[in-house]
Structure 1
Amino acid sequence: MLQKMNGKVKKILGISIAFLMLIMVIPTSIAKAATNKTYDFNSMTYQSTWGVTYSISNGSGTFNFTGQYREIKFNLPETLDMSQCTSVTFNASSPNGQIAFKLYDTSGNQVAVVYNFNSNTSDCTFAPNSTAKVNSIGIMAQGTNNYSAVVNRVTFTMTGGSSGTGSSTLLNTYGNILKNSGTAVNLSQLQNSNTLSVIKTQYNSITLENEMKPDAVLGSSSTLMTVAQAKSNGYYIPSSYTESTVPTLKFSTIDAVLQICYNNGLKLRGHTLVWHSQTPDWFFRTGYSSSGSYVSQAVMDARMEMFIRSYMSHIYNGSYGSVVYAWDVVNEYLHASTSGWSQVYGSNLGTTPSYVKKAFQYAYDCLSSFGLTNSVKLFYNDYNTYEVTDQILSLVNFINSGTKLCAGVGMQSHLNTSYPSVSAYKTAMQKFLNAGYEVQVTELDVTNTSASTQATYVYDLMTAILSLKKAGGNITGITWWGLYDSVSWRASQNPLLFSNLTTPKESYNKALQAFTDAGY
């Protein structure tokens, strides 16, 4: 009897197992069905441009090209695994000139391209033939004349229905949501292939810690040329400039950085044009001489305009200027100590300093001359913004009286786990956002007494920032001020997310956990 029952059990189990195997096949087949992921330009975010102006209407983008190989890039709202993508379709119209469509991976490398689209509204479909993780697209002119194209949407046909984001990084989390995931570096770090490779896995934006500051461009002492020589070298000389000589501006380091960024899909924040610190005193004196007397405000206005517009024009006239997407025009005015600026313009100017507004006007005028006022943003940058929130708002409102020159506030965010409280920091950021300003966290580090204390603080801070973003706040980037602890300006207090180039700390994992817990 027992043997017969065992036999029946075996038969029943055999039928059950077979049935289970059968029904397991069904959802697998369904999971592999193709799904279309379609994005228009309301769901994508602008990344960078070179020689292209654009406008968005009802999700469609109109792109005006100013020459051959001019290109504009946009970030997708998610990262897509091309190993699970069978085709990509751009719906577009470009009857007056050929354009190319490109796909870029999370490191900014071009991984797929289709050329020679030249048609009234139709689909351009191609197989990506790549296993890369793609998070941005490019649209490039092939013709040499000026012409326009309209791109309505892009569709990725996926198998398995997977977006394939892979392992979480700062780049494919915060970089996707905020557009800019950044770090502070120098040229030598960018020139190291191993360091550059690591940078590209976590960041799509860099800030030079010192090499774009005024003293790096002007030098410790002046080297003068005639006005005629300056004009022949491409310098901007305003009509109000009455002096016979112009100081040589040193761009070799910046040029090298721009090329590296361009070739590796990195963006660059310009930091900084006007600062009370790290600006040589000779720049404010007669004859550009350290022994001269301080010049008048009118002379200094002309010098400032010459410096700002020559500096920015050099970048945007070059081959790689498209990587510079933002500028800290004025840095730390509200915390300024005695400097050449105060010697010329006076101290204690409150929140209505004329030279600060003029600095923004000169920078804005330069962007306007290149057609970049919609794509490159100008910021006022300062530290301890949670202590002087109302003063910053008053200052930025003054700068923007008449024309909105300043897009927003750079919150440096050199923090400590004991100060400020996360709630105080969030309140300050909320005030800037409520006033209608864009906010970028520009120089973040968190000193601490222990790794676990830092991790908890970072989690709470990121949670607060992400909650404001989800509520509609115009927060467009977080830049960590250094790659790892020992290269930080506050190295003794271990303020960053990495203990060395490739070793993340608990705080790094907590930053990513905050992103996941926020519901992204």
Structure 2
Amino acid sequence: MLQKWNDKQKKFLGFTLALLMVLTAAIPSSMAHAATTKTYNFNTMTYQSAWGATYSISNGSATINFSGQYREIKFNLPETLDMSKCTSVTFNASSPNGQTAFKLYDTAGSQAAVNYNFKAGTSDVSFAPNTTAMVNSIGIMAQDTNSYSAVVNRVTFTMTDSTPVTGTLLSTYGVELSHSGVAVNSNQLRDTQTLTTMKTQYNSITMENEMKPDSILGSSPKLISVSQAQNSGYYIPSGYTESTVPSLNFGTVDSVLQICYNNGLKLRAHTLVWHGQTPDWFFRTGYSSSGSYVSQAVMNARMELYIKSFMNHVYTGNYGSVVYAWDVVNEYLHAGPSGWSSIYGSNLGTTPSYVKNAFQYAHDTLSYFGLTDSVALFYNDYNEYEVTDNMIALVNFINSGTKLCTGIGMQSHLSTSYPSVTSYKAALQKFVNTGLEVQITELDVGNSSDSAQASYVYDLFSAIFSVKKAGGNITGITWWGLYDSVSWRSSNKPLLFSSLNTPKASYNSVLKAYTDAGYTVH
């Protein structure tokens, strides 16, 4: 048909298609249908019938013993499912001794769909049902001729809702929580296409590495005199007795600040004090890798110089207004051997003086610039659902006397198998009960399948909004990476996008949790 169009019509069509491609790439899934998952183990299903097969159930998993080829066992689902709304079915199982087939049966008892050749060593098998039948039971059939057993743990149906999910992370979470965030590197931030797409979903970024101590200090020291440092705008504490200062490299930071400012993005500054990615020479006499570790007094002065010089540089520049939060101390409760522990000790419990000092120096700087009411200072840690009480005790110590720490960062590197949403919600509730600001700062969710992730994140975000609606001061969620292949956990496919412009079922689940909580898309 296109051959019958004149050249002007063809050019207009080409322009229209190109425009549509740009728009759909920039705002992925803005009118996507919600994906929900229904997962059943064998505690929720009931036995129906068997031929040449026996079974036993333990912890929701069924061990099925087949006496030979084509022997089969059937189980009833707890409800009837409309396969016209099902995009995939996932069986989680192991078949160590032979191949297995999985079947779906309709309400009349007829086979509606089947997937053959489930092989040994496979844990998940997913297939599209390609049927519009109403299904209420499953079948598990032996394909090999010998007697053998198979273990089946659960079956998950990924269903689409007839009601479209509208909006983006920015028009939902970015509004209700103020900050919809993502972790990026400077190359991604400088890429025009990536930046444009990023801005449709997020209004806040965290740099993965470029604001950490080793990026600012460098792998080896470049020393300058105290007077040179002062002329460069460094803060020299009154207790600083050394004749030289390590040069601080703010080149990348400055470009990041400018990009954020020009593109309406806010920035979480991550991180000032951390046992990881801090060069060892920073803790040694003469800033030399061969020197001995300095005293606590000398290190206190170095830490004050570093924190105040870094923050001063940001807020005396033209673009410092984009930085709304600092991770002052990162992962102290999980710290391994480092320069910090070599100088201050490794068994300080929840009352480490140097951690409190770090917050004091950061607070002093905000106070100097009149920013204590607009910029938050965070303690940030991982496995927060395991060390909840210790995190609270630590923050209470930091805030004894003067409130220095204003926020708790829950890193939230999760998996669908651990932690449970219940335990995560309990930790979140304890944190908001302190009255401090809480942000989810490094979220990703490892999983065995897209459907398992979609189900987990729906429950997770429903729990988060339950705490939020009850009065919790939750002010932001930051995903740790743009899409799966650039994630530090790429093999676990832990993010909402499989590529820059390709949302997964979990993306729709996150949006559905938002609307199901009663919030309006803006």
**What TM bracket, shorter-length normalisation?**
0.5 to 0.7
Q: CA deviation digits over 1:189-223, x for unaligned, max 9?
A: 01111000011000000000001000000000000
Identify the residue that residue 434 of structure 1 maps to in structure 2: 433
Cα distance between partner residues in 2 of 1:226 and 1:297: 22
Q: 1:413: how far off?
A: 0.1
Identify the residue that residue 378 of structure 1 maps to in structure 2: 377
Is 1:302 matched with 2:301? yes
Counterparts of 1:89-238 in structure 2, within 5 Å, are 167-238=166-237
Identify the residue that residue 479 of structure 1 maps to in structure 2: 478
Q: 1:408: how far off?
A: 1.7
Is 1:256 matched with 2:255? yes
Q: 1:305: how far off?
A: 0.0
Q: CA deviation digits over 1:454-481, x for unaligned, max 9?
A: 0000000000001111111000000000
Q: CA deviation digits over 1:283-337, x for unaligned, max 9?
A: 0000000000000000000000000000000000000000000000000000000
Counterparts of 1:381-392 in structure 2, within 5 Å, are 381-392=380-391
- Partner SS for 2:380: strand
Identify the residue that residue 398 of structure 1 maps to in structure 2: 397
- Partner SS for 1:314: helix
Q: 1:233: how far off?
A: 0.2
**One-letter amino acid matched to 1:385:** E
Cα distance between partner residues in 1 of 2:448 and 2:183: 23
- Partner SS for 1:171: helix
Cα distance between partner residues in 1 of 2:382 and 2:343: 24
Cα distance between partner residues in 2 of 1:338 and 1:394: 22
- Partner SS for 2:325: strand
**One-letter amino acid matched to 1:452:** S
- Partner SS for 1:172: helix
- Partner SS for 1:173: helix
Counterparts of 1:392-471 in structure 2, within 5 Å, are 392-471=391-470
Q: 1:261: how far off?
A: 0.2
Moved over 6 A (4+): none
Cα distance between partner residues in 2 of 1:449 and 1:418: 9
Cα distance between partner residues in 1 of 2:463 and 2:220: 45
- Alignment gaps of 5+ in structure 1: 1-165
Identify the residue that residue 504 of structure 1 maps to in structure 2: 503
CA RMSD of aligned residues (A): 0.7
Identify the residue that residue 270 of structure 1 maps to in structure 2: 269
Cα distance between partner residues in 2 of 1:404 and 1:235: 26
Cα distance between partner residues in 2 of 1:510 and 1:429: 20
- Partner SS for 2:229: helix
Identify the residue that residue 325 of structure 2 maps to in structure 1: 326
Cα distance between partner residues in 1 of 2:166 and 2:245: 52
Q: 1:435: how far off?
A: 1.5
How many residues matched? Answer: 355
Cα distance between partner residues in 2 of 1:227 and 1:408: 34
Identify the residue that residue 145 of structure 2 maps to in structure 1: none
Identify the residue that residue 39 of structure 2 maps to in structure 1: none
- Percent sequence identity is 74
- Partner SS for 2:455: helix
Identify the residue that residue 361 of structure 1 maps to in structure 2: 360
Q: 1:167: how far off?
A: 4.1
Cα distance between partner residues in 2 of 1:231 and 1:184: 33
**One-letter amino acid matched to 2:468:** K
Cα distance between partner residues in 1 of 2:465 and 2:320: 31
Cα distance between partner residues in 2 of 1:367 and 1:493: 39
**One-letter amino acid matched to 1:170:** L
Q: CA deviation digits over 1:146-179, x for unaligned, max 9?
A: xxxxxxxxxxxxxxxxxxxx94000000000000
Cα distance between partner residues in 2 of 1:479 and 1:383: 14
Cα distance between partner residues in 2 of 1:369 and 1:288: 29
Identify the residue that residue 143 of structure 1 maps to in structure 2: none
Cα distance between partner residues in 2 of 1:430 and 1:218: 38
Q: CA deviation digits over 1:64-98, x for unaligned, max 9?
A: xxxxxxxxxxxxxxxxxxxxxxxxxxxxxxxxxxx
Cα distance between partner residues in 2 of 1:347 and 1:468: 35
Cα distance between partner residues in 2 of 1:495 and 1:348: 34
Q: 1:437: how far off?
A: 1.4
**One-letter amino acid matched to 2:437:** E
